[in-house]
Amino acid sequence: MEPCSTRKLPFSLPIDSDNKATEFHPLSSSPPHMRAFHLAWLSLFACFLSTFSIPSLIPVIRNDLNLSATDVGTAGIAAFVGSIFSRLAMGPVCDLVGPRIASASLSLITAPVVLATAFVSSPTSFILIRFLIGFCLANFVANQFWMSSMFSSSVVGLANGVSAGWANMGAGVAQLVMPLIYSLVKSFNVPENTAWRVIFVVPAAFQALTAILVLVYGQDLPCGNYRDSGEASNKPKENFFKVLFHGLLNYRGWILGLTYGYCFGVEITMDNVIDQYFYYRFGVNLEVAGMIAACFALTNCFARPTGGLLSDRLAKTFGIRGRLWGLWVVQTVAGLLCVLLGRLNSLGASVAVMCAFSVFVQASSGLTFGIVPFVSKRSLGVISGMTGSGGALGAISP
Q: Which of 195, 50, 42, 43 is nearest to 130 (CA)?
A: 50
pLDDT in tens, 74-112: 998 898 888 888 988 888 888 889 999 999 999 999 999
Show the CA angle centred on residue 60, arms to residues 294 and 42, nearest 5°.
Answer: 40
Report residue 216 CA to chain centroid gap. Answer: 22
Confidence at residue 116, expressed as pLDDT on a 0 to 100 scale: 97
pTM confidence score: 0.86
pLDDT in tens, 51-81: 999 988 998 999 999 999 899 989 988 988 8
> What are the chain's domains?
32-221+242-395 (1.20.1250.20)
Confidence at residue 243, expressed as pLDDT on a 0 to 100 scale: 67
Virtual CA dihedral for 380, 381, 384, 385, nearest 10 degrees? -150
Q: How many secondary structure helices (H) and strands (E) does the chain include? A: 19, 0
Q: Which of 125, 132, 370, 96 is nearest to 247 (CA)?
A: 96
Q: Is 99 exposed, middle or buried (0-12, 13-18, 19+ CB in 10 A)?
A: buried
Confidence at residue 239, expressed as pLDDT on a 0 to 100 scale: 62
> Which 3 state secondary structure label does DSSP give 221?
strand
Confidence at residue 7, expressed as pLDDT on a 0 to 100 scale: 55
CB 327 within 8 A of CB 319: no
Confidence at residue 285, expressed as pLDDT on a 0 to 100 scale: 86
- Distance between start and end Cα atoms, the chain: 36
> Which 3 state secondary structure label does DSSP give 3?
coil
Name the DSSP letter for residue 377. Answer: S
CB 88 within 8 A of CB 135: no
Confidence at residue 1, expressed as pLDDT on a 0 to 100 scale: 47
Q: Which residues of the chain have pLDDT under 70?
A: 1-9, 228-240, 243, 397-398
Dist. CA 48–CA 207, nearest whole Å: 9
Confidence at residue 338, expressed as pLDDT on a 0 to 100 scale: 93
Q: What are the backbone dihedrals phi and psi of residue 151, each rounded to the nearest 5 degrees, phi first?
A: -120, 145
Confidence at residue 3, expressed as pLDDT on a 0 to 100 scale: 46
Name the DSSP letter for residue 15. Answer: B
